[in-house]
Structure 1
Amino acid sequence: MLALMAGPANAQSPEQHAAIRLVAHPTVATSWLNRDTTRAIFAMRQRTWPDGEAVQVFVLPNRDPVHARFAKEQLAVYPHQLQLAWDRMVFSGMGQAPNRVSNQLEMREKVANTPGALGYLEREYIDESVHVISME
């Protein structure tokens, strides 16, 4: 179970929250996700989109500052909490870790070319090859 963060990270302005956006494969029908669903998907507890299509999760390395900002600002968890959740899934045999990419260019390419994919990008990396998903 992921514990929610408390403190200043949750009290940031909407502009800062918008700096990193959820992105999906262009054929994903979902246009918005709430924080709980997004957290469940990135913690690898929810394996499908609301329409039943399998989700392929992509993440940046744990030490990447964009990954840390995404985890804290969008999911309200610390990156090490996500890693612990992934490790538990893998070591218990109950699931697998998300797909790792080395940078945002690779993230965009993998999400754009993998059906059911979900990832995150800073606004300047977003183009028409990916579908932006709002988070509410």
Structure 2
Amino acid sequence: MKNKIWIGVLIAILVGILCPLPQIAWAGDVVVIANKSVSDSSLSGEELKNIFLAKKSQWSSGGSINFAILKQGAAHEAFLKQYIQKTPDQFERYFRKLIFTGKGKAPTTLSDEKEMVSYVSSTAGAIGYVSSGTDTNAVKTINVQ
């Protein structure tokens, strides 16, 4: 009887560890995109973080930065974790505080990656992110160093 319980526990642990692996591998592949009018072709990780935390508001050419985020999903979580070092909840709280204190406004939030590409391609100075499998022909891909 004890052996059956231990086998059940072991199987549950293995399933819990192995099942999320494909999702985690996919979620890490995030591409930063910008409007084709943006002259910058690469950004440092710190510059990208400052853009999405509303601390950097102009491109190197002097144009205004219009950043957009996804409402939710694996690409959103992976982007925040990899580049902003925040969870979605921490990121949301950060902007609530900025808005409450009058130091910022809510980021443009889009419901899916197709909408993100459309917004970035049609908005001067726009920057956003999508998963690596998304069609990005209408936008510029930004290299993050």
- Tell me whether 1:128 sits opposite 2:140 in the alignment: no
Secondary structure at the counterpart of residue 81 of structure 1: helix
Alignment of 1:40-59 (within 5 A): 40-59=50-69
What's the offset of the Cα at 1:76? 2.6
- Equivalent residue for 1:105? 114
- Equivalent residue for 1:60? 70
Q: 1: CA distance between counterparts of 2:97 and 2:67?
A: 17
The one-letter code sitting in structure 1 at the alignment partner of 2:93 is L
Q: 2: CA distance between counterparts of 1:81 and 1:37?
A: 19
Rg (Cα) greater in structure? 2
- Equivalent residue for 2:88? 79
Q: 2: CA distance between counterparts of 1:25 and 1:17?
A: 23
The structure 2 residue matched to 1:33, chosen from 39, 43, 47, is 43
- Tell me whether 1:69 sits opposite 2:87 in the alignment: no
Structure 1 unaligned regions, length at least 5: 1-14
Q: 1: CA distance between counterparts of 2:113 and 2:68?
A: 10
**Are the structure 2 counterparts of residues 17 and 134 from structure 1 closer, same or farther at C-alpha, using a change threshold of 3 Å?**
farther
Deviation digits for residues 90-114 of structure 1, max 9, x if unmatched?
Answer: 1111111210000000000000000
**Are the structure 2 counterparts of residues 17 and 64 from structure 1 closer, same or farther at C-alpha, using a change threshold of 3 Å?**
closer
Aligned residues: 121
> Does structure 2 conserve the Cα–Cα contact (< 8 Å) formed by 1:44 and 1:97?
no
- Tell me whether 1:88 sits opposite 2:97 in the alignment: yes
CA RMSD of aligned residues (A): 1.8
Q: 2: CA distance between counterparts of 1:31 and 1:16?
A: 24
> Does structure 2 conserve the Cα–Cα contact (< 8 Å) formed by 1:17 and 1:74?
no
Deviation digits for residues 100-134 of structure 1, max 9, x if unmatched?
Answer: 00000000000000000000011221322100000
Alignment of 1:9-24 (within 5 A): 19-24=29-34
Bigger mean CA offset, 38-47 vs 108-117: 38-47
Structure 2 unaligned regions, length at least 5: 1-24
Q: 2: CA distance between counterparts of 1:105 and 1:16?
A: 17
Normalised to the residue count of structure 1, the TM-score between the two structures is: 0.81
